[in-house]
């Protein structure tokens, strides 16, 4: 996979360096589900309507976006448009579309809520738009709960309620684990915020771990030690490598799985009729019942040779009707305010569980905390996430005590901030 | 009239070129002497070596003297040996957690034990395999192919195959379950996972080294064995007095190659364990890769410093081994 990614990256580096023909717009795209196919279809339609612009869609692995695109951008290369998740971290490479788009007000009105997530601090730049808004949340294996005779906890249930109920299901149904959370700083930040954690210091830089964060992380490690939470996914890598626990849930090995809205299509496709499952939103802590927002954005790259054509492409894909169609066909939550406000999204799925799950996520957006909404646009989010995942992973593997992990998380973050300042 | 042969036809363009360059080359030889001609013919290779090996090495060294997260050298600050100091800042090198860059020292420790265990076991298993494959076996070619086959696989494929075998719901646990035994967490238990990385690495590369040793075994003159047999020498003595000494040059090649390869271990282990559980299978190359390219806020300077240190250790080890090899050769000549 890695070799293939490297070769793809090299090929793309070569191709992007030759993509300077007038009218050529190269999009670097990755897919979690079916969105690559949907995008291919939409690109075809765009080119029929705009015969002067040739859009080349490069479907690449996510690792290429994560590891190789930043290197290309640092070298002043890259595609004309890219679908990315590290939107704030790379924001200095995005093109300001404000003077180029047809109606900047349309962009401000409909994509303004997330505009800060993808532009350099203090600017009013229009860099692109979110192709999907995601929200973390939980999924319960309803069949296991029913078979165990344990009622599924209600909307205001706490993390402790979910742990207790899932543990009962685990013991009754003899599944390996009661709960699992993806090995991801973004995912585990949701319960931390619900426990009152605040990552952002008064100077805008990372603050040391506070009591809220420490309380939940201590609980998480205890749950892993007593077998309530799956250790496997967290000890299965070093550093801040991402690992999802989706396969364990899909295989019926978990009562409760905490991930996010982007898993809906995946679960619907892979679970099929094997068992019933439901989305349950984010459990509560003492401070909130919040999930973590996020998502992927389509952004224009400032090194493009064809900024006007790029703006035409972005204008077309940002249209309300196109965003609506894209969301309905991909089962993604839309990032366009008008589409959200008007409602009436007709998700193209025969799977009633998937449709119900998407509605739960739409509903859960209402309980998203202020602190959670700030993090996607905060420069140091990834740094904090990485430190937490690395050190808690080591703690669960038995290499660190929890108090040492807290000390290391703080010193790791401080060192990164210092490195960035050099 | 004679018809030109195919080889004459094929050689015609070569001969034409030779005729054209003959005169200038003769003049060059006259001017520079034989030594100059050697340099002239080596120049293209040295140019490629310089551009693709020496220059990156120099650039890497320069990177190790700079700080910050930017990739362009022009945007990076010169900080001297600060990255090296950071790597060496430690209260007790045997306790990585007392070091500032604990992951680096953990990776150094893991790599050290991996090299010691993997290289020893590799040489032993490759030697035994080669000795067996050198005997008159039924379907000998088939068995040689069987042992060599894993070498042809991509490291990523090797990692994935073994992941499917060793993971919680993998083939091995399925087999254990069928025999009424409890499944085991091979990839999430620190001790088992480290052993698994050594085992997988042996499986993947042993065939290559066995092939080198096999070539050495087949080059040993048969009459030496015949003479030993006529003298009634015991097989163990034949092995220690004839086979092993004559295999020494091949074994030295195997040791050097296996050592370099094991210090650089990365791909199959990265796919298999990702460096986990915790950092128990985090090796130096993965540390360098993650520090330079995959972590939040990459640090190319620190990664470059770590890679320079790793390269230095490799060069020293290779020189020691070559020195030992040369001493053995001189001893043999005397």
Q: For residue range B73-106, what is the model confidence (pLDDT) as tens digits?
A: 888 889 999 999 999 999 998 899 999 999 999 9
Tell me what ipTM this predicted complex has.
0.81
Q: What is the pLDDT of residues A22-53, one digit of tens each?
A: 579 999 999 877 889 999 999 999 999 999 99
Q: Å from A229 to nearest chain B CA?
A: 14
| pLDDT beyond 70 at A2 | no
Q: What is the pLDDT of residues A377-388, one digit of tens each?
A: 898 998 999 999
pLDDT at position B140 is 83
Lowest mean pLDDT among A66-70, A356-360, B131-135: A66-70
pLDDT at position A14 is 46
**Mean pLDDT over each residue of chain A, to the nearest integer:** 90
Verify whether the Cβ–Cβ distance B103 to A239 is below 8 Å. Answer: yes
Check if B161 contacts A (Cβ < 8 Å). no
Q: Six-digit token pair at B5? A: 């042969």
Verify whether the Cβ–Cβ distance B188 to A398 is below 8 Å. Answer: no
**Mean pLDDT over each residue of chain B, to the nearest integer:** 90
Verify whether the Cβ–Cβ distance B295 to A239 is below 8 Å. Answer: yes
Verify whether the Cβ–Cβ distance B276 to A237 is below 8 Å. Answer: yes
| pLDDT beyond 50 at A3 | no
Verify whether the Cβ–Cβ distance B293 to A237 is below 8 Å. Answer: no
B contact test, residue of A239, A249, A400, A416 with most B CBs within 10 A? A239
Contacting residues of B for A239, CB less than 8 Å apart: 103, 275, 282, 290, 294-295
Cα separation, A197 vs A189, in Å, equals: 8
| Closest CB from B67, B187, B290 relative to A239 | B290
Verify whether the Cβ–Cβ distance A422 to B79 is below 8 Å. Answer: yes
Q: What is the pLDDT of residues B155-204, one digit of tens each?
A: 999 999 999 999 888 999 999 989 999 888 889 888 899 999 999 999 99
Cα separation, A114 vs B149, in Å, equals: 53
Verify whether the Cβ–Cβ distance A386 to B296 is below 8 Å. Answer: yes
CB B65 within 8 A of CB B301: yes
Lowest mean pLDDT among A166-170, A275-279, B6-10, B270-274: B6-10
| pLDDT beyond 70 at A193 | yes
Residue of B nearest to A387 (CA): B296
pLDDT at position A16 is 45
Q: What is the pLDDT of residues B235-287, one digit of tens each?
A: 899 999 999 999 998 998 899 899 989 999 999 999 999 998 999 999 999 99
Cα separation, A26 vs B234, in Å, equals: 73
pLDDT at position A6 is 44
Shortest CA distance to A249 belongs to which of A137, A118, A140? Answer: A140
Q: Cα dihedral sign for A7, A10, A13, A18?
A: negative
pLDDT at position A88 is 87
pLDDT at position B334 is 60
Check if B293 contacts A (Cβ < 8 Å). yes
**All CATH 3.40.190.10 domain ranges in chain A, comma separated:** 2-133+295-358, 135-293+366-421
Q: What is the pLDDT of residues B32-63, one digit of tens each?
A: 888 889 899 999 999 999 999 999 999 999 99
CATH class label, A2-133+295-358? alpha beta
| Closest CB from A70, A232, A399 relative to B279 | A399
A contact test, residue of B98, B99, B277, B290 with most A CBs within 10 A? B277
pLDDT at position A422 is 56
pLDDT at position A335 is 86
Shortest CA distance to B197 belongs to which of B206, B186, B181? Answer: B186
- pLDDT-based confidence at residue B136 (cuts at 50, 70, 90): confident
| Closest CB from A66, A238, A383 relative to B275 | A238
Cα separation, B134 vs A129, in Å, equals: 66
Contacting residues of A for B185, CB less than 8 Å apart: 232
Shortest CA distance to A416 belongs to which of A387, A396, A374, A391? Answer: A387
Number of residues in chain A: 422
| Residue corresponding to tokens 């505009």 | A115
- pLDDT above 90 as % of chain B: 63
CATH class label, B91-333? mainly alpha
Residue of B nearest to A86 (CA): B296
Q: Six-digit token pair at A331? A: 């089962």
Cα separation, B122 vs A255, in Å, equals: 44
Contacting residues of B for A415, CB less than 8 Å apart: 100
At the fourth CATH level, the homologous superfamily of domain A135-293+366-421 is: Periplasmic binding protein-like II (3.40.190.10)
Q: What's the Cα-to-Cα distance from B3 to each of A118, B6, B7, B9, B16, rounded to whole Å? A: 76, 9, 12, 10, 19
Check if B279 contacts A (Cβ < 8 Å). yes
């Amino acid at each position: 996979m890695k070799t293939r990614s490297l070769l793809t990256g090299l090929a793309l580096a070569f191709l992007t360096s030759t993509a300077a023909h007038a009218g050529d717009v190269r999009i670097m795209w990755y897919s979690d589900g079916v969105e690559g196919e949907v995008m291919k279809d939409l690109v075809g339609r765009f080119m029929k309507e705009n015969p002067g612009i040739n859009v080349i869609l490069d479907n690449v692995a996510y690792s290429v976006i994560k590891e190789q695109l930043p290197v290309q951008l640092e070298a002043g290369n890259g595609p004309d448009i890219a679908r990315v998740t590290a939107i704030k971290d790379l924001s200095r490479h995005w093109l300001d579309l404000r003077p180029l788009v047809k109606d900047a007000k349309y962009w401000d009105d409909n994509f303004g809520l997330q505009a800060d997530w993808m532009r350099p601090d203090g600017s009013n730049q229009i860099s692109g738009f979110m192709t999907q808004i995601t929200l973390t949340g939980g999924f319960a294996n309803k069949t296991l709960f029913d078979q165990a005779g344990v009622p599924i906890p209600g909307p205001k249930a706490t993390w402790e309620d979910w742990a207790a109920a899932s543990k009962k299901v685990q013991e009754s149904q003899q599944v390996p684990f009661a709960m699992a959370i993806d090995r991801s700083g973004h995912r585990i930040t949701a319960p931390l915020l619900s426990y009152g954690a605040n990552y952002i210091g008064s100077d805008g830089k990372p603050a040391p771990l506070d009591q809220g964060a420490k309380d939940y992380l201590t609980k998480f490690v205890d749950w892993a030690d007593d077998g309530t939470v799956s250790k496997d996914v967290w000890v299965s890598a070093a550093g801040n490598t991402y690992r999802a626990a989706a396969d364990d849930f899909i295989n019926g090995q978990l009562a409760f799985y905490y991930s996010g809205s982007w898993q809906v299509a995946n679960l619907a496709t892979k679970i099929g009729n094997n068992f019933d499952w439901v989305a349950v939103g984010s459990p509560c802590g003492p401070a909130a019942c919040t999930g973590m927002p996020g998502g992927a954005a389509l952004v224009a790259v400032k090194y493009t040779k064809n900024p006007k054509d790029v703006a035409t492409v972005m204008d077309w894909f940002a249209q309300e009707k196109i965003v609506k169609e894209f969301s309905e066909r991909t089962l993604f939550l839309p990032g366009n305010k008008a589409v959200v406000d008007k409602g009436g999204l007709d998700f193209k799925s025969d799977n009633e569980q998937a449709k119900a799950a998407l509605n739960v996520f739409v509903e859960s957006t209402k309980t998203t905390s202020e602190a959670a909404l700030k993090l996607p646009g905060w420069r140091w989010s990834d740094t904090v996430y990485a430190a937490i995942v690395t050190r808690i992973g080591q703690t669960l593997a038995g290499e660190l005590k929890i108090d040492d992990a807290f000390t290391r998380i703080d010193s790791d973050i401080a060192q990164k901030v210092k490195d960035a300042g050099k | 009239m004679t018809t030109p042969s195919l080889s004459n036809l094929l050689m015609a363009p070569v001969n034409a070129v030779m005729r054209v360059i003959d005169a200038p080359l003769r003049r060059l030889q006259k001017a520079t002497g034989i030594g100059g001609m050697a340099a002239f013919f080596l120049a293209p290779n040295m140019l490629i070596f310089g551009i693709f090996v020496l220059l990156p090495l120099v650039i890497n060294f320069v990177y190790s003297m700079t700080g910050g997260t930017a990739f362009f050298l022009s945007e990076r600050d010169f900080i001297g040996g600060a990255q090296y100091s950071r790597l060496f800042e430690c209260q007790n090198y045997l306790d990585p957690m007392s070091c500032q860059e604990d992951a680096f020292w953990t990776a150094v420790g893991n790599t050290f034990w991996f090299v010691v265990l993997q290289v020893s076991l590799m040489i032993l298993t490759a030697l035994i395999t080669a000795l067996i494959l050198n005997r008159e076996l039924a379907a000998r070619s088939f068995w040689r192919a069987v042992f060599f086959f894993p070498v042809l696989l991509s490291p990523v494929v090797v990692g994935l195959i073994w992941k499917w075998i060793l993971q919680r719901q993998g083939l091995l646990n399925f087999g254990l379950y069928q025999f009424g035994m409890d499944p085991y967490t091979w990839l999430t238990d620190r001790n088992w996972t480290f052993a698994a990385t050594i085992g997988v690495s042996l499986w993947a590369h042993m065939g290559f080294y066995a092939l080198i040793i096999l070539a050495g075994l087949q080059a040993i003159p048969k009459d030496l064995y015949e003479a030993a047999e006529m003298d009634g020498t015991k097989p163990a003595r034949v092995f220690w007095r004839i086979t092993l000494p004559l295999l020494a040059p091949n074994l030295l090649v195997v040791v050097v190659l296996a050592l370099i390869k094991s210090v650089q271990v990365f791909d199959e282990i990265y796919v298999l364990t990702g460096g986990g559980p915790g950092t128990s299978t985090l090796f130096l190359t993965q540390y360098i890769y993650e520090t330079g390219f995959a972590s939040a806020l990459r640090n190319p300077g620190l990664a470059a410093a770590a890679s320079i240190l790793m390269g230095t250790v490799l060069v020293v080890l290779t020189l020691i081994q070559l020195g030992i090899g040369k001493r053995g050769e001189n001893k043999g000549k005397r």
